[in-house]
Amino acid sequence: MSSKIAVLPSTVADQIAAGEVVERPASVVKELVENALDAGARAVRVDLEDGGKTLIRVSDDGEGMVAEDARLALQRHATSKIRSTGDLIGVGTFGFRGEALPAIASVSRFELETSVDGRAAIRLRVVGGRVEAAEEAARQRGTTVTVRGLFFNTPARRKFLRAPATETRAASEALSLLALARPDVAIALTSDGRVVIDAPSVERLIDRVHALWGRELADTLLPIAYREGPVEVTGFCQRPSQAKPAGRKAHVFVRGRPIRDPFLVRAAEAGYRSTIHPGDRPSLLLFLDVSGDAVDVNVHPAKLEVRFRDKFLVEKVCEEAVRAALVPLAAAAPLGQVSAAGYQVSGEAWEAAGGSNIAVPLELFAQSPLAPDTRHLAPPLLQVFDSYILFQTGDGVAIVDQHSAHERVLYEDVMRQLTGDGASAQRLLLPLTLDFTPVELEAIEAHRELLRRVGFEIEPFAGRSVIVHTAPNPHPRFEAARCLQELVGDLAGGRFGGWQNRLERFGATFACRAAIKAGHHLDPQEMRELVLRLLTASLPAHDVHGRPTIVQLPKDELERRFGRT
């Protein structure tokens, strides 16, 4: 009986390996540029023709290879990155498996030209994995890899390639990630002679973001710099008001390596809770730094995934990093330091100041990060349309949406109540009897304890009726019956769906329904108290839907409108 087990021919084994590493032209670009960066390149140029189907050329000015190393590099599992299994712990290079070059060469017409000194160079030509020529060449220090006819010898795989524009876009996205990982390296990409990426080396990451993502998006980003224990997170997150349901960019890097990890992105998005609408998706650029023994990078053939030793800690730190970035910087104030960083200021201090000399943090109004500064809130406060509160700042006019502002204030209050002993409630002289649908009654039962914590004591009555004995009193115009009916309706109908945390979903729903409304007239004291409480909230700039609570009309815009400039 003949044996059923056979050792695969090297050509077949190479093509199987190529299937793990090389999916499309973008995969080739990624692997070759990673090699260039690992070789110490300060400039990398990529040229494509026909989306990479016809030609992919990657040139760099890295350290290059001697002839013997160039030949070895075309053998499977040949690498300069590691020597033993111990080197896999904390490996700091992009590539280390030693499969990229032979895998690419096995499915293309491949040429490698390299020099270590700018004088002697070697050129190797490989067709379908077989070296066909080796000759001396003249080249400056560095390496050029040319890939022609990708998948020419595996036509079934070539059929799966997309249109040239699609393949070019995929290659551009792969190269952009590496350009973000190494802003100190000049990166360029041309496609059929057209410049797609031209990113000179820069010192600051934000300048590289400007070059790749455009100034319009880059100017909506806030810097992240946060550390907890062994985990450090840097990068950028988008201002809540700029988050949209579609079109966002979200990228994660671990120890400088771009990876795919939807759970880390989701954790970072959790830092936005109560500042954006649940359906919106902010742009994120996260760089995680952890110790080498805390992450395993050897879990994916193309090195696109990693495994953390303490996954939950890393996710928690990502969430806290974004949340901390959204808190505007504290600004020193002459009286009591009224700022969005959460400093507590008493109403007496406000009154003693007559509503003046209370500093408003500049970050509340800025559309892009600016240097720390303060503006002073000066009386009088003016309510217009019974909906907006206006006051003068140092160089403009601030406008507060009273409903959004109160919604933010109430949300932060109610979250403390839900996680503490609950809110004080007033016992109703005449209890309310209200009717609800069966689905709404189920929602009341499911949220009974949360309703009690915010002040609603509810008792089942006959049929579809309940009796309400106590109610909260967040403001003098509060309508307990209307608020409870709307709150229960929202909870039963899932109107505030999308919140991952049940307490936060409930708190946001209550804050929306209990806040003062547009059309409520406020007296001067009420306006002062509301503005003060907003400015001392932890996240004052947006309500629970992500809408702004406060905007500014700069003085120079007023002067421009009146022709004074």
Six-digit token string for 308: 């953390």
Whole-number Å distance between alpha carbons of 57 and 249: 27
Give the pairing type, strands 284-289 and 457-460.
unpaired
Q: Which amino acid is at 231?
A: V
Letter for the amino acid at 393?
T
Q: What is the pLDDT of residues 227-274, one digit of tens each?
A: 999 999 999 999 887 888 888 999 999 999 999 999 999 999 988 877
Report which of residues 429 and 351 the model is more confident about. Answer: 429
**441 plus 316 within the same structural domain:** no
Determine, yes or no, domain membership for 215: no
Name the nearest CA neighbour of 65 among 125, 124, 115, 99: 115
CATH code at position 238: 3.30.230.10
CA–CA gap between residue 120 and residue 73 (Å, rounded): 18
Q: Is residue 85 part of a domain?
A: yes
Question: Which domain-ending residue is among 264, 299, 326?
Answer: 326
Same structural domain, 33 and 171: yes
Q: Is the pLDDT of residue 16 over 80?
A: no
In a domain, 462, yes or no: yes
Q: Which has more pLDDT, 548 or 160?
A: 160
| Residues 294, 261 share a domain | yes
Give the strands of the sheet with 465-471, arranged side by side: 426-435, 465-471, 457-460
**What pLDDT, in 10s, does the model give residues 324-375?**
998 753 322 222 233 333 323 433 433 433 333 333 332 332 333 323 333 3
Distances (CA, A) of 406 to 104, 362, 544: 60, 21, 10
Which tokens is 153 given? 């010898």
pLDDT at position 141 over 90: yes
In angstroms, rounded to a whole number, what is the distance separating the alpha carbons of residues 38 and 27?
Answer: 17
- pLDDT at 100 (0 to 100): 84
Position 530 pLDDT exceeds 70: yes
Question: Are residues 105 and 224 located together in one domain of the fold?
Answer: no
Q: Which of 199, 234, 254 is the last residue of a domain?
A: 199
Most confident of 45-49, 322-326, 471-475: 45-49
- Could you tell me if 179 and 295 lie in one domain? no
Q: What are phi and psi of 391, to 5 degrees?
A: -155, 160
Q: For residue 380, is the peptide bond before it cis, meaning its omega torsion is within 30 degrees of 0? A: yes
Name the residue among 496, 474, 498 with its Cα closest to residue 407. 474
Q: How confident is the model at residue 9 (pLDDT cuts 50, 70, 90)?
A: low
* Distance (Å, whole) CA 55 – CA 49: 5
Residue 372 domain flag: no
Q: Which residues of 343-362 are buried (b: 16+ CB within 10 A; e: fewer)?
A: eebeeebbeebebeebbbbb
CATH number at residue 110: 3.30.565.10
Residue 137 near residue 122 (C-beta atoms within 8 A): yes
Mark whether 155 and 61 lie in a shared domain.
yes
In this predicted structure, the answer to whether residue 315 has a pLDDT above a threshold of 90 is yes
Please give the structure tokens belonging to residue 557: 């815009």
Pull the structure tokens for residue 503: 């307490």
Each residue's pLDDT tens digit, 104-114: 999 999 999 99
Give the residues across from 550 on adjacent strands.
400
Joined tokens for residue 42: 């300060």
- Report yes or no: 470 and 457 within 8 Å, Cβ to Cβ: yes
Q: How confident is the model at residue 469 (pLDDT cuts 50, 70, 90)?
A: very high
Q: Report the pLDDT value the prediction gives residue 346, as an integer from 0 to 100.
A: 38
* % pLDDT > 70, the chain: 81
* Residue 264 and residue 145 share a domain: no
Domain annotation covers residue 348:
no
Q: What are phi and psi of 550, to 5 degrees?
A: -150, 135
- In this structure, is residue 443 part of a structural domain? yes
40/173 same-domain check = yes
CATH number assigned to the domain comprising residue 437: 3.30.1370.100
What's the predicted TM-score (pTM) here? 0.67
In a domain, 535, yes or no: no
Which among 247, 518, 199 is positioned nearest to 384, based on CA atoms? 518
Q: Which amino acid is at 495?
A: R
Token couple for 85: 């299994």
pLDDT of residue 147 exceeding 90: yes
Strands (E), 203-349: 221-228, 231-238, 250-254, 257-259, 284-289, 295-296, 307-308
Residues 255 and 285 grouped into a single domain: yes
Domain count, the chain: 3
- Domain range for 281 is 220-326
Looking at the domain assignment, is residue 111 inside a domain? Answer: yes
In this structure, the answer to whether residues 269 and 322 fall within a common structural domain is yes
**Nearest-CA neighbor of 147 among 46, 72, 68?**
46
Residues 173 and 292 in one domain: no
| Residues ≥6 apart with Cβ < 8 Å to 85 | none
Question: Are residues 89 and 44 located together in one domain of the fold?
Answer: yes
